[in-house]
Copies of this chain bind each other. A is one copy, B any other.
């Protein structure tokens, strides 16, 4: 990558580099009209493209925002990424992407790389974890983040704070009310008491998953129901599918034992995210079971691409794009911390996959077939 430099432009225009710089970038001092015109013409004819690296070096700031996601092809993260991208654009910055398969060690590496590139801020959307095997990685990640913040970097984490991060300066958390919303979902699903509640969750230690599980259990308890059984599996579609296969066998057995498929006996499945719910639903279907006839199921996230799925999936709507936007804005210092600690809200959205549940007041029954 070579290109014409500012000095070349200046020489062609017959001015000093300083003047050229002042013309070509919004400096406080604006040179005279005629000179400015000459410089601009020279730049144009030379096809001058400013070297952002040199600019960044000179004024120590890069106009870069680092984004860390677990998997950019996962619609959950893709939606957040869109919000981040949008906010970055507002700020006139570009986003630098890093994906980590959920491994804190990779995240640490990504943070270091962002720090090396002198990214102005970093948005971390990969899920936080407290699994024992991640302990070491987490503390290293925390150390790296602390260092980054100490050097003046801004960090925004979606969901939960990074375990062990202690920096107070420049460290922001966009809280997602996973637990509270799961409580509400459980409350809705508890209205018509099902025979059995099952939660398909991710590995123990994944905050997002654990919070949702905890909230759901609380909601059931508040309704006077016993805690749901928990199936731990992978935090993705195939995890949901596997759990679904296992559940299908049990539902079958139960049905053959003579139980009818009435509400009182139907099993109610809560998958901690939509993708897992879809996987589970696919498994039930492949085993010849029907939703909501043989079992009802709900997910979490309200992934856009999945809205046309049939039976329409009951879920908890989360403003993913807004989450990304807000994290990015906060990291840019555009949102006062105390002014709005966290304005992320979601809502329970009951659809056909939990048919039979009577929606209580305040919960809108949304159709998803509207274009």
Contacts and interface: CB of A to CB of B under 8 A. Distances in A.
Contact of A50 (B116, B153, B242): B116
Contacts of A113: 52, 94
Contact of A116 (B49, B85, B238): B49
A62 interface: yes
A20 to B, nearest CB: 16
Contact of A282 (B50, B116, B275, B308): B308
A118 B57 contact: no
Interface string A253-281: 00000000000000000000001001101
A176 to B, nearest CB: 18
Nearest to A242: B371
Interface stretch (A31-39, A67-75, A125-133, A211-219): A67-75
A279 B305 CA distance: 10
Interface string A30-73: 00000000000000000101111110110011100001000111
A117 B94 contact: yes
Nearest to A112: B49
A144 to B, nearest CB: 9
B73 A78 contact: yes
A248 to B, nearest CB: 12
Interface string A104-116: 0000000011011
Contacts of A308: 237, 278-279, 281-282, 309
B57 A85 contact: no
Among A61, A75, A85, A97, the most chain B Cβ lie within 10 Å of the Cβ of: A97
Given A94-B97, A369-B285, A1 B152 contact: yes
A281 to B, nearest CB: 7
Contacts of A62: 1, 53
Interface in A71-114: 71-75, 78-79, 81-82, 85, 94-99, 112-113
A54 B57 contact: yes
Contact of A2 (B151, B238, B305): B151
Interface size class of A (residues with CB under 8 A): 35 or more
Nearest to A245: B371
Given A72-B72, A79-B73, A2 B60 contact: yes
> How many copies of this chain does one complex carry?
2
A51 B47 contact: no
Contact of A309 (B120, B151, B309): B309
Interface of A: 1-3, 47, 49-54, 56-57, 60-62, 67, 71-75, 78-79, 81-82, 85, 94-99, 112-113, 115-120, 147, 151-153, 237-238, 241-242, 245, 275, 278-279, 281-283, 285-286, 303-306, 308-310, 321, 369, 371
28 contacts: A1-B62, A2-B60, A2-B152, A3-B115, A49-B147, A51-B57, A51-B116, A51-B118, A52-B116, A52-B117, A52-B118, A53-B117, A57-B57, A72-B82, A78-B78, A85-B99, A94-B117, A95-B96, A96-B97, A237-B308, A238-B371, A242-B371, A279-B308, A282-B308, A285-B310, A303-B305, A305-B305, A310-B310
